[in-house]
Amino acid sequence: MAALTVYGSVLSPFVARVLLACAYKDVPTQLTMPKDGIKSPEYLKLNPFGKIPAIKDGAFVLYESAVIVDYLDSKYKKKKLLPAAPKAMAQVRLIATVTAEYVQGAGLKFFRMKRSNQFTQADLDAATAELHKGLDVLEKIVAKKKKYIAGPTPTLADCFVVPALFFAVNTSGLFGIKGVLDGRPKLKAYWDNAQKDKVAGQVLKGMTDRMKQLIPA
């Protein structure tokens, strides 16, 4: 199978979703940053928003991480990431959506505050409250004592949760906020396992290395 070209950097949680989907489905990838940058006329032809990720599958170009993951799951029938049964499918989508809307955004806020060094204590408090609210809901809806976030096999939900937890744990940590998963035993166990998991662990290592380059301790 020819490698799928993925434009982006592994530290982007949106790019990481796509890399995880490919890895769970055994689709080989070639990760590359657009040659002249994400706002170059060449790259804007691939993604008119000038954002990462975009993919090139032969002559077919696609952007928006959630759409890319759906495309890959629909194209490659083996190791389905979205269950066919309606309730199981809804559960996977719910976990992914809660993660995308209420957890990842808060984690990214910490990252951006650190990078720009422009924030107030009120900004920090608001991001902390938002993160805890999102994590409270996520803890309630994820699977209990299962290897993956929605059950015994990887799903689209894992593609969303792994990078979002990376940001939740590590970017709040940049402000000395420790133990954001404490008191959330399902998420804590999942996060501990994810770091040791062959697929998730590799993506997380890439994210960690890149974060250390951008924000040295």
Contact residues toward ligand GSH (CB under 6 A) are 12, 14, 38, 50-53, 64-66
Total residues found in the chain within this entry: 217
| Angstrom distance (rounded) from CA 199 to CA 154 | 10
- Whole-number minimum distance, CB 159 to ligand GSH, in Å? 11
Q: Which residue number, 160 or 190, has a Cβ lying nearer to ligand GSH?
A: 160
- Whole-number minimum distance, CB 24 to ligand GSH, in Å? 18
3-35 burial, b at 16+ Cβ within 10 Å, e below that, comes to: ebbbbbbbbbbbbbbbbbbbbbbebeeebeebe
| 58 φ, ψ (degrees, to nearest 5) | 65, -125
Q: Which residue number, 53 or 107, has a Cβ lying nearer to ligand GSH?
A: 53
- Whole-number minimum distance, CB 111 to ligand GSH, in Å? 9
Q: Which residue number, 66 or 89, has a Cβ lying nearer to ligand GSH?
A: 66
Contact 127, 171 (CB under 8 A): no
- Whole-number minimum distance, CB 14 to ligand GSH, in Å? 4
Q: Which residue number, 49 or 185, has a Cβ lying nearer to ligand GSH?
A: 49
Q: Which residue number, 193 or 208, has a Cβ lying nearer to ligand GSH?
A: 208
- Whole-number minimum distance, CB 119 to ligand GSH, in Å? 18
| Angstrom distance (rounded) from CA 143 to CA 123 | 32
Q: Which of 155, 181, 150 is nearest to 166 (CA)?
A: 181
**Looking at beta carbons, which residue is closest to ligand GSH?**
51
| Angstrom distance (rounded) from CA 70 to CA 65 | 9
